Amino acid sequence: MSSIETGGQSQKEIDLFLQIYSDIEAARARVEKERFRRHEWPPLFIPKWRAVLWTLPNVPRLRKLKELMDPDNFRRLLLPETETEPGVFRDSPLKLFRFVPRKRAILTWEHPQTHRRYFVKLFNKTDTLRVSNNYRHIIQISKQGKLDFIVPELISYNPSCRALLMTEIPGKTFTEKMRKAIPGSFDRVGRILGQLHKCQAKPEMLRSPEEEIDAICAHMGEVKLALPQLEVQLNAVTAILADAYQHLPIPKRMPIHGNLFGDQILYGQKNIGIVDWDAFCCGDPLYDVGRLIAHLLFLGGTEGLASSGVNSCTEAFLQGYQDEVGEPVNRQWLSWHVTAQLLMRGKISSLRKLPEDWIGQLTFVVKEAERLVHGRSRYMNLPALNTQSERLAVSY
């Protein structure tokens, strides 16, 4: 929320967050829970939409957000003790940069004297300790000099407000580079991703394909609510994914980023940085690879990139990655992850953000996922995912 002077009168901007529930009773229960907990006016309940309207920073599971956005609290809770001029910091409040419902909030802050930019990440109670350990772990690995990419420097962590203060990494998001479809930049990113996967890090969390397919089915349930005309195709694709992973070879477990897409990579001429280590874990390295390729396919289909250019970039990316790890990727598993993560990219970029062409974007995502599982993508050469019935036909 911010104040704006217009024509001598002060106006307020209020950030709102609309949360739509699967049924009306779930929405009603949330309103009642908040009324009981907070003893104040409840959020707006919209029965027709099965929705609750929140004002930011008053949101579920991130109660510390309101406290942290007060300049005095921010200085006391997260700034080092050497910063002793409280009055100076009142003119540089935190600004909300990104909000992930019920999980985390990302804020930016600029030092009023040095003008250096920082990020603050606030987490819910469930995730905070694991995430703070993730950042300490990857920073320790980075300081050993075995990685050719940089990670944010951790300035402070305060468990009482469940927040981290870290430095900004210079560079433009790799998403901007992806749109230009330059194979050399993809080769470079493939190599640094290979370095991450073969490093000796041992993050505490494990990720399995079972978790991925469960997450996809849950999120696609929301897509089907929004666009019921896609239900038949979505059910067919998710059924193929659920069947195929049970018969693919057990994947290797390596340290993976766990949430990689173009915005998490800061691309510069001299350095590449990788941010957002919240989901750092051990899992199938092709999860990271597939997630990044899925983002490129999403841009290809929704922004009209030439399919030949997308294909050249994916092959350059895979070649750089394979050169670094010293072995070819399993293209069946790659097809599985690219398909799964393209569906998730559609949910995140189209349904959550609701751009003007969100219906067209989601329609492309589901159709392309269908083409991928049958080995018919025009963007890259991947094998079809064999279902149980196809395997039986081959055996006879």
Separation CA 57–CA 65 (nearest Å): 6
**Domains of the chain (ranges, CATH numbers):** 1-55 (no CATH), 59-168 (3.30.200), 172-395 (3.90.1200.10)
What pLDDT, in 10s, does the model give residues 336-390? 999 999 999 999 999 988 899 999 999 999 999 999 999 999 999 999 997 654 5
What pLDDT, in 10s, does the model give residues 107-156? 999 988 888 999 999 999 889 999 999 999 999 999 998 899 999 999 99
Helix or strand run (H / E) with residue 10: strand 9-13
382 in Cβ contact with 338 (< 8 Å)? yes
What is the edge-to-edge ordering of all strands in the sheet holding 265-267?
A: 172-173, 265-267, 272-274
pTM, entire model: 0.88
What pLDDT, in 10s, does the model give residues 80-92? 766 556 566 667 7
Q: C-alpha angle 316/318/321, rounded to 5°?
A: 110
What pLDDT, in 10s, does the model give residues 294-319? 999 999 999 999 999 999 999 999 99
282 pLDDT higher than 50:
yes
56 pLDDT higher than 90:
no
What pLDDT, in 10s, does the model give residues 260-280? 999 999 998 889 999 999 999
Percent of residues, the chain, with pLDDT higher than 70:
90
200 or 391, which is more confident?
200
What is the model's pLDDT at position 392?
A: 39
189 in Cβ contact with 152 (< 8 Å)? no
What pLDDT, in 10s, does the model give residues 207-216? 888 888 999 9
Residue 89 vs residues 3, 111, 154, 209, 233: alpha-carbon distances, Å:
17, 8, 20, 46, 53
